[in-house]
Amino acid sequence: MSRLSKKEPSLCTAEPLKDGDVCRKLAVFKQMLASCFGPRGRLKQIHNNVGGQVQTTSTCAVLLKGVPMSHPILKLLAASVSNHVSRFSDCGLFAAILSCSLIEHAQRLGVEASVVMRIYKHVLGVCVDYLSHEECGCKVCIDFSSSHTLLSLARSVITSKPACMVTSQEALHISSLVVQAFLQMIPCETGGSVRLGKVVLVSIEGHGARESAMFPGLMVDMPETLASADLERLDQGQIKMVLFSVSLSGDLSETGEGTVEVGFRVHPETAILYQLLRVGEKMVSDRVDLFACQKVVHPVLKQYLKEHHVVVIDRLGISLMEPLTQMTGAQPIATIWSPVPAHCYGQLSGLRVQSFGSKQMLNLVPAQDSAVCSLVLCHRNETMLSELKVVCQSAEHILRLTLRNPFALLGGGCMETHLAAYIRSKCCVGNVAAWSELGCSRSEYLLTVESFCHSLEVVARSLEHDGGQSLTDLSCGHRWVAPDTASADSQWKDLVSTCGCGWLGRREGVKWAVLGSQYPSFTPMLTEDGVSHNLVLDSFPAKLNALQVAVETANLIVDLQYIVQDVN
C-alpha cells in the first residue's frame, strides 16, 4: 500500500486565453504552420523522442499527426483541422493559420468574447454568401471540356508542397498523370447510378519523377512462379480468374470462429491441405487461368496450380480487393469449404510486364473499359516519394470534389486579399443595421470586422518567406509580391509580372497598398478572363469548409471559460 500515490484533484484553469504561457504556445503553433505555408514554405523534420521514423514534410496532415500537442486548446485546434483534412484533403494550413490569427486578434481587441463571436459569425455568413454567389470575383468555373483548369488545380496542389522536390517540368508531368487518372476513373456509361472507379497509387523508389506513369488496370508485384510461357499463352484471349479473400496458408486458425472438434488420429493440418488441393482441382477443372488471393497461398497448392499452368498471385492485401472486384467482376470467396459458384469468376484481357529499372511489376489489364487505373509514382528517395504520394492522393481527391461542385477559388493569396477587400466594403461602409442587430456598438463592430480582414491578410502574407513585400492592388484586391529592395517611392516598379494566382497582369495606373497596413476601403472589381493558363487555384469546397472550420473553431476557443484536466 505504501507504493500507492494519493489521487490528486483535477486541475481547473479559468480563462485560459489570458494565460501568457497558453498564448505563447498558440503563437509558436501558428508560426510553425505559417512557416510551412505555400510552395516556398520551409520544411519540418519530425522525430519522436522515443524513436520512430524521421519525417521531413510541410504537409498539414503529417505535421498534426507527428507533432504531439501539450495543451488542450492546441489539441482542440489540431483535432478540428485534422477532421477537415480527413474530409477534404486540402487547405488544412489555411484553416489553422486563420483560426490562430482570429483567436490572437480577439484577445487584443478588448471586446467581450460574446460580442466577438457574434460578429465573427456574421462576417462568416457574408463570406459564404459572397463566395457562393455566381458573380464572386475570386471564383472560377471548372471547364470539363478542357484540361486547363483541371491541370492548374492539380499542379497547384503538387507545387504547394516543397518536400516533393520536383522541378516545374516534373510537376507538370505528374499533374497531367493525376488528371489522366482522374478522367480514367469516370465510367463511360451514363444513366442510372454512376459508380466512380478507383485510382491505386504505387510508389517506386530510386528513379526520377519523370519516370512516373499511369496504366489502365492494376499493378501488382511480379509473382515468383510466373514464366514467360504463361504470358504468351494468356495473351491469346480472355483470362478467367478467381479471387479468394480468405487465407489459404493451411493454418487451423484461418478456419473461422467457433469450436473445432478433431477426431481420433485426425491431423487438422493434413485435412486442411487436402481441402486446399480439392479447391485447386476445382479451379483446374473449371479452366481458371489466374488464381488471386488477398492473403497467403500454401506452397503445395501453389506448386499444384503451377503444374497445371495456373498463374498464382497472393498477398494482394485488402486495399486491392475492391478495385480488383470492380475491374474484373470477380466476387471474393471467403471459404474453402463450399463449392465456388460460377458467377464468382471474373475476367481479364491480358497480363503485361512493366519494368521500372530493375523492378518489374505485373499489369492486370481489364477485359473491357474499366474505371480502375494505377498511378505509378517514382522518385529519388523515400522522403520525397512519401510526400509525393500524400500530395497526389490529395490532388486526386480534390479533382473528385469538382464533380459535385465544379468551381475553384483563386490561390496564391488572392482569394484572401480579395475577400478582405469585399468584407471592408460590405460591412464597414454605412452598415448601421448590422451592429444594431448584433447588439454591439459601432466601434466594436468595426474593430472586429477589421480584425477578421486583417486575419485573412495574415494568411496571404504567410505565403512569403524570402523577405519580399506582399501588396494588394486597390482595384481588384489581388495579392502581389515585390522584392525586399522595392519601395513605395519607386511606385513598386519591381513587382512580378502577374498577381499571386496568375489571373491578372501588371497594368499602369493601378494604386497599391502594403498588406497589413491601413488603406482606404474599396469595392473590388470583377475581372475578365485570366492572362495565363498556369493559374494557381484552390479547391472551392475544401477552402469554403476550411474557412467555416477556422471561424467556428476560433469562436469555440474564444468562448472557453474553464479547462478541467485530470492530472493523475
Q: Please, what is the Cα angle at 174 between 169 and 178, to 5 degrees?
A: 145
**Side chain identity, residue 174:** I
Mean pLDDT by groups of 10 residues along the chain of 568 residues:
69 82 92 94 84 83 88 94 95 96 93 93 95 91 89 95 94 96 85 82 93 94 82 82 92 62 69 89 94 94 92 93 94 90 92 88 89 94 93 96 94 95 83 78 91 96 90 91 67 71 84 87 76 84 97 95 78
Q: What is the pLDDT of residue 305?
A: 93
Listed residue (396, 566, 557, 456) closest to 26, CA to CA: 557
Cα 407 from Cα 530, distance rounded (Å): 15
Q: What is the pLDDT of residue 48?
A: 75
Rg (CA), the chain: 29
Question: Starting from the edge strand earliest in sequence, which strands make up the sheet with 512-514, in order?
Answer: 479-482, 469-473, 512-514
Q: What is the pLDDT of residue 7?
A: 76
Cα 439 from Cα 118, distance rounded (Å): 9
Phi then psi for residue 210, to 5 deg, are: -70, -15
**Side chain identity, residue 374:** S
Q: What is the pLDDT of residue 215?
A: 95
Torsion sign (Cα): 455, 459, 462, 463: negative
Output the pTM of the full model. 0.91
Task: Report residue 521 as a C-alpha cell.
Answer: 476601403
Contact 451, 105 (CB under 8 A): yes
At 266, is the secondary structure helix, strand, or coil? coil
